[in-house]
Structure formats: structure tokens, C-alpha cells
Amino acid sequence: MQSIFMDYTWVVLALIAAFTLATSDALTKKILVSHNEYTVAWLRLVFSLPLLFVIFLFIPVPKLDKEFYTAFFLSLPLEILSIVLYIKALRLSPLSLTLPFLALTPVFLIFVSYAILGEKVSSLGAVGIFFIAAGSYTLHISKIKEGLLEPLRAITKEKGSVLMIGVALIYSLTSSLGKMAIKHSSPLFFGITYLTALALLFTPIVLYKGKKVRGKAALSVLLPGVFYSLMIVSHMIAISLAKVAYVISVKRMSLIIGVFYGYLFFKEENIRERLFGSLLMFVGFMLVVTAT
């Protein structure tokens, strides 16, 4: 029984990462209504650091090698680009039309994680991943009466959706490189040092593109930052326990939570057709878990 529980520890951690990420995104989108996206993105990183620094005091520092540094420094510029695109997508478009496109990351990972890490997914796992990705097509399913390809054309008209597809592709690269760095260090050490480096590198961008946020406005990003730090911890440990494509697939359950947040907090429309896409993602989630 204990062995079975340990086998699925990564699932629980990936689901925690999904919830904390979706919650952080919803809180961040609310703040973006009236504040600069670069400043908000930077503050979310900064406010995630105190909790991570406390954790850092209790973990050993692993011996680092060339593979760690290669993966670490290749990931950083890609991650900076993804943060900019991600925050812009959240600001430009509804949550329920942007977050679901992150479901494409596991599809990209089928090929990227094999190329970088040599990880192969099973046939059942691949079916589950494609089920998750299929949910993104149904976001505009009401447009299908105008033509079979109309839902895809509708995607291209939504700037936030296009940006998030780019983010999904970048994440497939950074997730695989992150797994490589974790293999040559430890999950928590990599997660904490990586996020610290991101915050430092993002600072010049904020000084150039951002705007000052003071007092209560700045503190409003504290809670999104805390949830983001919890996401980092659970994500890094989960990805050290299972194949990258599987972990990211389960983590993409955040998309379902994001759709509900979009309806509850932002009164986003056409929620029924988007819930159908969420159902497809849930079926895919069950297949991925079964495949492992």
C-alpha cells in the first residue's frame, strides 16, 4: 500500500501545483486591470522568494557539474521571454481563452523531452496528452457552424491565445532543461536558485518597461507571490519523481480551475463550451495517471 502511495506522490504534488498556479494567475489578472504587467510580473517573483529562502536554509547544497550550469543558463533567457508573454496574455484576453492553451505544452513535450532527456511516453499516455490538448480546440466550438476550421481561425484573432501558445512551446523547452538541472542537483535547490536568478534578471526589464507601484498596490501582489512559491516547490519535487510530459499534463488541470475562476471572478462568457473542453482535459488527465 505504501509503495502504491509513493508511486502517485507526484500526482498529488502536480495537482497542488495546478491549484496554486491557477489561484496565483487569477489573483494576478485582477491586479493587472489597473497596474503595469511588467511590474506585477516582477513583484510576483520577488514576493515568492521569502518562503523559498526559508526553505533554502534547511536543504543541503548539492555538488554541481557542467550539465547543471548548461541547463540552468540555457533556461533563463527562455523563461524571461515566457514570463513577458504570459503576463501580456493574461492582460489581453479572458482567463478561459488563454490558460487552456498551456495544455499544448505536454504535446510539445512528447517530442522535446525525448530529444533532450530521452524520455518516452506510453501509447496510453500519449492519448491522454492529446485529449488534454484537444480541449483547447473546443474553446471556440460554437464557431464550428461557420466552418470546420473556424475555431482555429478564432484562436488567431485572440492575441492572448496566440501569445499563450508561444508560452506553451517555450515551457516544453524549459521544463525539459529544468529536469536535466534537477538530475544534476536537487529539486528544491534548483527551484529556489532558478527563481532567484529570474527575479534578478527581470529587474532591468522592469526598470525600463515597468511603472512604480507603491503601498497597498504593491502589497496586493504578495498573495499571488506566496501561491507562486508553493507552485514552484510542488512542481520541482513532482518533476523529479516522474516523466516531464506526465507531470506537466497533470499540472495543466490548472486550466480547469482557471476556467472556473474566469467565470466566478471575471464573469467571462461562453463558459459552457469552455467547460466541455475542460471535461476533455479531465479525461486526458485520467488516462495519463493510468498510463503511469
Residues 115, 157 contacting (CB under 8 angstroms): no
Which comes out higher in pLDDT, residue 233 or 30?
233
How far is Cα 2 from Cα 11, in angstroms, rounded to an integer? Answer: 15
pLDDT of 284 = 81
- Structural domain spans, the chain: 2-291
Q: Cα 184 from chain centroid? A: 22
pLDDT in tens, 184-225: 999 999 999 999 999 999 999 888 887 777 667 678 889 999
How far is Cα 82 from Cα 111, in angstroms, rounded to an integer? Answer: 19
What cell was used for 207?
526598470
DSSP 75-105: HHHHHHHHHHHHHHHHHHS-HHHHGGGGGHH
Give the CA angle between residues 56, 247, 53 to the nearest 5°.
10
pLDDT of 61 = 94
